[in-house]
A and B are shown apart, each in its own frame.
Chain A
C-alpha cells in the first residue's frame, strides 16, 4: 500500500514550523484548463465543455481529517447536526461523535457524510466540492493519459472495482497518481460533487417525449451521450439518486478550488 504523501512532504524537511502547518494543510494539485466531452451532455450542449484551470485535492478527505473538522466545528458533530443537513446514517461508523474507534482507519477516506457536511468541510479549506465536469475531467485519466476513456482497459479496471464487495474495508488514501497527479479517483470511494443536483437523470432517460418532460424547463432531462461508458454512468446514477442530507458507507469526497 502506498502511504499518503502528506506524511512525507518535502516541506517537513525545510523547517519545523512549515512542517507542522503542512501536516494540517491538504495537498492540492493544479489541474490545467481543457475540454471534456461529458457523458451527460444534453441536446443543448453537445460540443465539448470548456473547463477553466482549477486546483483539486490530491486525495479524498480522510476519516482523521474529518474528525479534526468536527472537533473544530461542533455544529457538524453527528449529535448536533440539524437533520435537514445530515440524515441518521451520518458518521454512523464512528465509535462516538468525537472518536473514530478501533475499527476505523484514520487514513481511509471518510464516508457516511452528507453533501452539506462535505461542502462545509471544503469551505473550511477555502474550497468547495468539485463540479461534476471537473470531477469527470480528472476521472477520465489513467496513469499516463488525460483522457483514457476509449481504452477498454480503463473501463475494465473501474468495473472491476465496482464488482468488489462493499463489505471489504476501504483502503487508505494515497494510491497511484493519474496523469493529472490526482490519486484515488477510482478504486476507493464514490465522491460527492458540488452540483450533484444538476444530474437530472430522473427516472429513465430513454423515455423521450413523455409527459414528465414538463417537469424540466428548456430541453428536458439529460440524454446520456456516451451510453457505453458504464463506469461514468454508474456514478451519475448513484449521485442522481441521492438527497443532499443522505450518506452512504461508500461515498466520500474531495475538494476543489477555482482559480479566481
Chain B
C-alpha cells in the first residue's frame, strides 16, 4: 500500500531530523513558523512587486479553522500548490514530492520554507477533512498549511499560479500538477511538475531561496 510507504518514510524522516539535526531542528520547531509571517500582515501591499502572487486578495482557512489572507505568507519563501483531498493517486504523490524536496534541505534551510496546499474542491474539503488529511499524511503543522477558500477565489488563485483544474461529474477533478516556489515577495521563482520525488534543479532553487531568507 502506498499509504503505508508514505508513513514509513515520514517516520524515517522524523527520526533522521531528530538524530542528525537535533539542535537546529529542535529550536526551529520550538518557534512557531508562522510568527515571522504574521508580523508582516500589516505590510503595505503597494510595495509588492507587480508580478507578485500576493497581489491577489484571497481569504483562506487552514486545517485548524484559522482564517488568514494569502499575503500574510509574505516575508518567507513558500512552496505552494493546489490539490483536492479525495484524489487517490496524483495528490499523495504531490505531497511526497514536496516532502522529498524538504528532506534534501539541511534542517536550518528547511526551517525557512513553508508549504501551502490549497484545495480546489471547497465543497468537499471542509476544515475537518483538511485536518484529517494533514494528520493522515503526518505533515509538520509548523510548516505545512492545508487550506480552503471559496470556489471563485480558488479559480483566481489557480489562474495566478498557472494551475488548471476541472470538476468531473463523478466527483474527481482533472488537474495539472505544479509546485511553485514563491520568493518572500510572492514572485514565482521556480516551478516543478515532477511527482513522487523532487526534481534536483527545483531543490537547488528551494535551497537557494531558503539560504537567502532573513
> Among the listed A42, A82, A214, which residue makes an inter-chain contact with B168, where contact means beta carbons less than 8 Å apart?
A42
Question: Hey, which chain A residues are within 8 Å of B174, CB to CB?
Answer: 42, 198, 200, 216-222
CB pair B162 A243 closer than 8 Å: yes
Question: Hey, which chain A residues are within 8 Å of B167, CB to CB?
Answer: 198
Which of B60-68, B83-91, B139-147, B205-213 forms contacts with chain A? B83-91
CB pair B159 A197 closer than 8 Å: yes
Q: Give the complex CA separation of A221 and B173 in angstroms.
A: 10
Known contacts A82-B52, A83-B50, A198-B165; A44/B175 CB under 8 A: no
- For the complex formed, measure the closest distance between the CB of B93 and the CB atoms of chain A, giving whole angstroms: 8
B160 and chain A: residue at smallest CB distance? A84
CB pair A197 B158 closer than 8 Å: yes
> Among the listed A85, A128, A215, which residue makes an inter-chain contact with B177, where contact means beta carbons less than 8 Å apart?
A215
Q: Give the complex CA separation of A83 and B169 in angstroms.
A: 35
Asked if A151 CB lies within 8 Å of chain B CBs, one says no
CB pair A45 B51 closer than 8 Å: no
> Among the listed B51, B152, B156, B166, which residue makes an inter-chain contact with A82, where contact means beta carbons less than 8 Å apart?
B51
Please classify the interface of chain A as helix (H, G, I), strand (E, B), loop, or mixed, using the class held by over half of its residues.
Answer: loop
Question: Hey, which chain B residues are within 8 Å of A45, CB to CB?
Answer: 168-170
Question: Hey, which chain A residues are within 8 Å of B51, CB to CB?
Answer: 82-84
Question: Hey, which chain A residues are within 8 Å of B177, CB to CB?
Answer: 214-217
Known contacts A82-B52, A200-B164; A216/B169 CB under 8 A: no
Q: Give the complex CA separation of A68 and B84 in angstroms.
A: 39
Band of interface residues on B: 35 or more
Asked if A195 CB lies within 8 Å of chain B CBs, one says yes
Q: Give the complex CA separation of A138 and B169 in angstroms.
A: 21
CB pair B156 A119 closer than 8 Å: yes
- For the complex formed, measure the closest distance between the CB of B171 and the CB atoms of chain A, giving whole angstroms: 9
Asked if A47 CB lies within 8 Å of chain B CBs, one says yes
Asked if B130 CB lies within 8 Å of chain A CBs, one says no
CB pair A198 B164 closer than 8 Å: yes
A63-85 vs B: 1/0 string, CB under 8 Å?
00000000000000000001111
Among A83, A115, A217: residue with most chain B CB under 10 A: A217
Q: Give the complex CA separation of A214 and B90 in angstroms.
A: 7
List residues of A (203-248) whose CB comes within 8 Å of B's CBs: 214-222, 243-244
B152 and chain A: residue at smallest CB distance? A128
Question: Hey, which chain A residues are within 8 Å of B91, CB to CB?
Answer: 217
> Among the listed B87, B156, B158, B162, which residue makes an inter-chain contact with A116, where contact means beta carbons less than 8 Å apart?
B156
> Among the listed B55, B84, B166, B175, which residue makes an inter-chain contact with A84, where contact means beta carbons less than 8 Å apart?
B55
Asked if B137 CB lies within 8 Å of chain A CBs, one says no
Asked if B155 CB lies within 8 Å of chain A CBs, one says yes
Q: Give the complex CA separation of A135 and B39 in angstroms.
A: 44
Question: Hey, which chain A residues are within 8 Å of B195, CB to CB?
Answer: 214
Asked if A33 CB lies within 8 Å of chain B CBs, one says no
Q: Give the complex CA separation of A85 and B48 in angstroms.
A: 13
Among B48, B90, B160, B174: residue with most chain A CB under 10 A: B174
Q: Give the complex CA separation of A195 and B159 in angstroms.
A: 9
CB pair B55 A218 closer than 8 Å: no
CB pair A217 B155 closer than 8 Å: no
CB pair B152 A216 closer than 8 Å: no
- For the complex formed, measure the closest distance between the CB of B117 and the CB atoms of chain A, giving whole angstroms: 13
Q: Give the complex CA separation of A49 and B173 in angstroms.
A: 15
- For the complex formed, measure the closest distance between the CB of B106 and the CB atoms of chain A, giving whole angstroms: 30
CB pair B159 A200 closer than 8 Å: no
- For the complex formed, measure the closest distance between the CB of A126 and the CB atoms of chain B, giving whole angstroms: 13
Question: Hey, which chain A residues are within 8 Å of B172, CB to CB?
Answer: 44, 217-219
A102-137 vs B: 1/0 string, CB under 8 Å?
000000000000011001000000001000000000
> Among the listed A49, A83, A202, which residue makes an inter-chain contact with B176, where contact means beta carbons less than 8 Å apart?
A202
> Among the listed B50, B52, B158, B168, which residue makes an inter-chain contact with A218, where contact means beta carbons less than 8 Å apart?
B168
Q: Give the complex CA separation of A44 and B163 in angstroms.
A: 21
Known contacts A44-B172, A115-B159; A198/B166 CB under 8 A: yes
Question: Hey, which chain A residues are within 8 Å of B164, CB to CB?
Answer: 197-200, 202
Q: Give the complex CA separation of A49 and B169 in angstroms.
A: 8
Question: Hey, which chain A residues are within 8 Å of B168, CB to CB?
Answer: 42, 44-45, 218-219
Asked if B193 CB lies within 8 Å of chain A CBs, one says yes
Interface residues of chain B, those whose CB is within 8 Å of chain A, are: 48, 50-53, 55-56, 84, 87, 89-91, 152, 155-156, 158-160, 162-170, 172-177, 193, 195
List the 4 closest pairs (A to B, CB-CB), nearest first: A244-B159, A198-B166, A218-B172, A83-B50
